[in-house]
Amino acid sequence: MTEVATTTTPTPAGTTPRGAGGTGSTPSIGDGVRMRIWRGDPAGGAFEEYRLPAQEGEVVLDVVHRIQATQAPDLACRWNCKAGKCGSCSAEINGKPRLMCMTRMDQLPEGPVTVAPMRTFPIIRDLATDVSFNFEMATRVPAFAPAPPPAEGYRMAQIDIERGQEFRKCIECFMCQDVCHVIRDHEENKTRYAGPRFFIRFAELEMHPLDTNDRRDLVRERMGLGLCNITKCCTEVCPEHIKITDNAIIPLKERAVDAHYDPVAWLGRKILRRTKRSAAEAAALHPPGPAPAP
């Protein structure tokens, strides 16, 4: 976010003057908190500074909520669960993408805390950005397509699903997308680059024991997997600590490349059919048993 200007917002008339260093009735700690929040819309904006008393154990989102309640009722920000489980309240705190609900004030350095919207996505208002890019990208992922269940139902070993489970921890905060320089610095790539969130989705499907769709050519040719040069920025910001680069992107690159370039693998596939089958082929090989209980 380019810092346009810095202004200080006076306490609006008609609200309790809880600003200025904790003179209100709320218990305060030290000198109170200062938070500089980007306010604006697609036409432009600026950081505005708010002062309010500090409270024990607060996270950034608590302070934003208190600012809304006492000083800026129209301050736009997304949030839902306030427990790090829904991935709604992503923002750039002191320049780093983080969940506002999981960032404790007492663990940030002294001095004003800067809160800006995610830079990679267009601004709607204040801290709310237009993340529709991600929802459009989701529609381009070919669906999970399992073979029909055998009569006794599907069986999968825990060890075989743990790889996929790691990726399914994703809370879709889109901070990996925000920090990925392939789209952060190159708007033009958005049409041809799925981004880390969707690379882990492709990896999850690729590694799913029941899936039959082969998406390796798609992810290489149309989803821009090759544009990722594994700087691991995505892994660093992931609040779920998913090893996006090591466990998803690199294996996906290897599999996609193998599928396309390796002549031995190509020949092996032709002879031994060691690729995923299409859903139709799989269905022909495994006649459907009764559905898992009527």
Partner 1 sequence: MPSAHETHDFDVIVIGAGGAGLRAAIEAKGRGLRTALVCKSLLGKAHTVMAEGGVAAAMGNVYAEDNWQVHFRDTMRGGKMLNNWRMAQLHAQEAPDRVHELEAWGALFDRTQDGRILQRDFGGHRYARLAHVGDRTGLELIRTLQQKAVSMGIEVFMECKVLQLLRAGDGAVNGAVGYWRATGELVTFSAKAVVLATGGVGKSWKYTSNSWESTGDGHAMALWAGADLIDMECVQFHPTGMVWPLSVRGLLVTEGVRGDGGVLRNNEGTRFMFDYVAEMFRAETADSEAEADRWYADHSAGRRPPELLPRDEVARSINAEVKAGRGSPHGGVFLDIATRRTPEYIRRRLPSMYHQFMELAGVDITAEAMEVGPTCHYIMGGVRVDADTAATTVPGLFAAGEVAGGMHGSNRLGGNSLSDLLVFGRRAGMGASDFAEGAPGTPLDPAMVEDAASKALEPLGRDGGENPYDLHQNLQEIMQALVGIIRTGSELTEALGKLGELKARAAKVSVSGGRAYNPGWNLCTDLPAMLTVSTAVAQGALERRESRGGHTRDDFPGPDPEFGKVNLVQRQPGGGTVDVEITLAPEPLPAMPDDLAALFEEAH
Residues engaged in binding partner 1 (CB under 8 A): 12, 14-15, 41, 55-59, 62, 68-70, 73-88, 102, 104, 124-126, 128, 130-131, 135, 138-139, 141, 143-144, 146, 149, 153-158, 161, 164-165, 168-172, 205, 208, 211, 291-294
Smaller CB separation from partner 1, 67 or 258: 67
User: Nearest Cα to 201, choosing from 169, 228, 162?
Assistant: 169
Integer angstrom CA distances of residue 125 from 45, 70, 93, 225: 9, 19, 17, 31
144 in helix, strand or coil?
A: coil
Shortest reach from residue 198's CB to partner 1, in Å: 12
Smaller CB separation from partner 1, 27 or 226: 27
Smaller CB separation from partner 1, 98 or 253: 98
Shortest reach from residue 192's CB to partner 1, in Å: 20
Smaller CB separation from partner 1, 209 or 226: 209
Q: Which residues contact 267 (CB under 8 A, 6 or more apart)?
A: none
DSSP state letter for 91? E
Smaller CB separation from partner 1, 15 or 231: 15
Shortest reach from residue 76's CB to partner 1, in Å: 4
d(CA 213, CA 33): 52
Shortest reach from residue 90's CB to partner 1, in Å: 11
Give yes or no for a contact between 262 and 275, defined as CB atoms under 8 angstroms apart.
no
Smaller CB separation from partner 1, 23 or 80: 80
Shortest reach from residue 161's CB to partner 1, in Å: 5
Q: Is the dihedral of CA 201, 206, 211, 212 positive or negative?
A: positive
Backbone angles phi, psi at 54, to 5 degrees: -80, 155
Shortest reach from residue 167's CB to partner 1, in Å: 9
User: Nearest Cα to 227, choosing from 200, 209, 253?
Assistant: 253
User: Nearest Cα to 61, choosing from 29, 90, 94, 39?
Assistant: 90
